[in-house]
Amino acid sequence: MTIRQKGFTIMEIMIATAILTLGLVGILALFPVAIDSGKKVMERSTAVTIAKSVAEQIRSGLRNQKRYNLRGAVPFTYFVFQHDGIQDAIPKDSAQERPSGDYYILLPQFRQEQSFSGASDNERRLNALKETKEFVYPEDDEPPNGNGDPYLADNDADDGQNGIVVKKVYTVGSRLPKMEDVGDEVLDDQKQDSFKQYSYAFSIRASKYDTNLSANPGRFQPGNNLYHVRVMIFRAFGFNSEKVRQEGKGPEPIYEMDFEVSR
Task: Band the pLDDT of 242: cuts 50, 70, 90.
Answer: confident
How do strand 135-137 and strand 255-262 relate by DSSP bridges? unpaired
pLDDT tens digits along 171-186? 987 665 555 666 665 5
Q: Which of these, 112, 82, 106, lies nearest to 205 by C-alpha position?
A: 106
What is the per-residue burial (b if ≥16 Cβ within 10 Å, else e) of 230-239?
A: bbbbbbebee
pLDDT tens digits along 64-98? 999 998 877 788 999 999 998 999 999 999 999 99
Query: How many CB atoms are closer than 10 A to CB 137?
Result: 24
pTM of the model: 0.80
Q: Which of these, 156, 175, 148, 176, lies nearest to 232 by C-alpha position?
A: 156
Q: What pLDDT shows up at residue 189?
A: 52
